[in-house]
Chains A and B, each alone.
Chain A
Amino acid sequence: MNHNRQSNDGKHDDDSALSDFLASLMDYTPTIPDELVEHYLAKSGFQCPDVRLIRLVAVATQKFVAEVANDALQHCKARQAAVVKDKREKQQKDKRLILTMDDLSKSLREYGVNVKQQEYFADSPSTGIDPATRDE
């Protein structure tokens, strides 16, 4: 496996683009704090004094999480669109956007993570139902 082999063709353009990107990472503060990433780096045996690589790891993780969350949001919106319109008008728009396990498991499945919503056991069939709609 020749992982580290580099070709000289067009190396300068890539180098300049890459160095620009890495230099921009010096000023960029990722949402995942450096301290946390450094902790996990040290825990996993990743030694690197360069701050830019730490930031790169943080940015990669942030991008992953953002993509997963964005997919879940799309699933959520698609599910909401299928609901009957009368119900949708009752609820406000902001409140509808809730991250749930259903959407999350759907979006994570695309990234190779199989998540299943936890089974919910109830002592009686009417436990989980909203009290207003419960028939008594």
Chain B
Amino acid sequence: MRKSRSKRKSNIHLQQPTINPRDFQFMITKVAVSQICKSVGFRRSRVSALETLTLVATKYLETLVKSAASFSNAASRTQSNILDLTNALHDMSLQVGFMGASTLYDHNNNCLLKSSVLESLSDFVSSTNEIPFAKPIERAKERESEEVNAVPGSFQERGGHIPEWLPRFPDVGGTNENCDKRVNGEQLWENSSSVLGCQIDGFEEKRCGSNNVGKLPKGRSRIKFRVNNGGGTRVGLNGISCNNVFGQSKDEEEAEPVAVCEKSVKSEEKQILVYKRRKKLC
């Protein structure tokens, strides 16, 4: 029985689909392209043909956008506008040909917005029925940005070495203005408004426990620390490392090893219990 169960489990693991992000984009494009094909009048499609058309559509989109971006970069801009896009559309449709292609770069008739490509696009929009995409797509970016807005200015300032679930540093921005006052007003540093202001701000933040303090930018995942207590037992503590606790105060040193010992004993007991259970199972 056990073997069969384990076999089933392993099969389940094998069957879990590994989703490649590229595949995800490709699948979405495939759905959209198949919707377009259906609207044109096709009833069925060969898989290879549909995938080829999807690939070509993706390449078309990418080439169009890259060309528009390069046009805007050539005009020393980072943001693209409709003129860049129109130029890119002209370049893309030169193969097929369009009205006014011969006079495209003519000095007398060079208004880009008059182009027939845009006109044909507007005709297409007005003549074709709207076929919205079949399924809603969840946007990952929106959720992230909402969370970032809840805790302002947290991600940009913090370094990469600080875990995301830690609370952000308290605001130090207000002290600079007060520093100027102190230099000009010749006060004692202790009595200066900068120190008092900072303290008050700090206390207020701590006392009030304002909304920003309670909210963490990201949920903390469970963390385990491994501490070797001679016997090699593992003590799992949620978020507290024992070494830091030892280092803080000498008074507690006497009490803590006992506690740790108790913990280790408890963990050993647990392990023994686990062994017993396993034996029973066997």
Contacts and interface: CB of A to CB of B under 8 A. Distances in A.
Interface of A: 1-7, 9-11, 14-15, 17-18, 21-22, 24-25, 28-29, 31-33, 35-37, 39-41, 43-49, 53, 56-57, 59-66, 68-70, 72-73, 76, 94-101, 103-104, 108, 110-113, 115, 117-118
Interface string B62-104: 1011101101000100111111010101001001100000000
B137 A36 contact: yes
B171 to A, nearest CB: 30
Contact of B96 (A14, A21, A59, A110): A110
B52 A115 contact: yes
A63 to B, nearest CB: 5
Contacts of A39: 25
Nearest to A1: B105
Contact of B36 (A1, A44, A69, A96): A69
B120 to A, nearest CB: 8
Contacts of B81: 48, 53
Given A57-B64, A66-B128, A99-B45, A111 B69 contact: no
A41 B65 contact: yes
B238 interface: no
B69 A69 contact: no
B80 A53 contact: yes
A97 B44 contact: yes
A48 B79 contact: yes
Contacts of B95: 111-112
Contacts of B128: 66
Contact of B62 (A9, A29, A44): A44
Contact of B29 (A18, A21, A32, A95): A32
Interface of B: 25, 28-29, 32-33, 35-37, 39-46, 48-50, 52-53, 56-58, 60-62, 64-66, 68-69, 71, 75, 78-83, 85, 87, 89, 92, 95-96, 105, 107-114, 118-122, 124-126, 128, 130-133, 137, 139
Given A4-B75, A35-B137, A36-B29, A24 B36 contact: no
Given A3-B87, A59-B124, A98-B42, 19 more contacts: A3-B75, A4-B83, A24-B122, A24-B126, A28-B130, A32-B29, A33-B32, A40-B61, A40-B65, A44-B62, A49-B79, A53-B81, A53-B85, A61-B64, A66-B39, A66-B128, A98-B46, A104-B52, A113-B56
A11 B110 CA distance: 11
B125 A21 contact: yes
Contact of B41 (A1, A15, A97, A110): A97
Given A7-B109, A21-B125, A94-B43, A56 B66 contact: no
A29 B113 CA distance: 23
Contacts of A4: 75, 83, 112
Nearest to A49: B79
Nearest to A58: B61
Given A24-B122, A46-B69, A69 B42 contact: yes
A3 B69 contact: no
A78 to B, nearest CB: 14
Contacts of A32: 29, 32, 61, 133
Contacts of B49: 99-101, 103-104
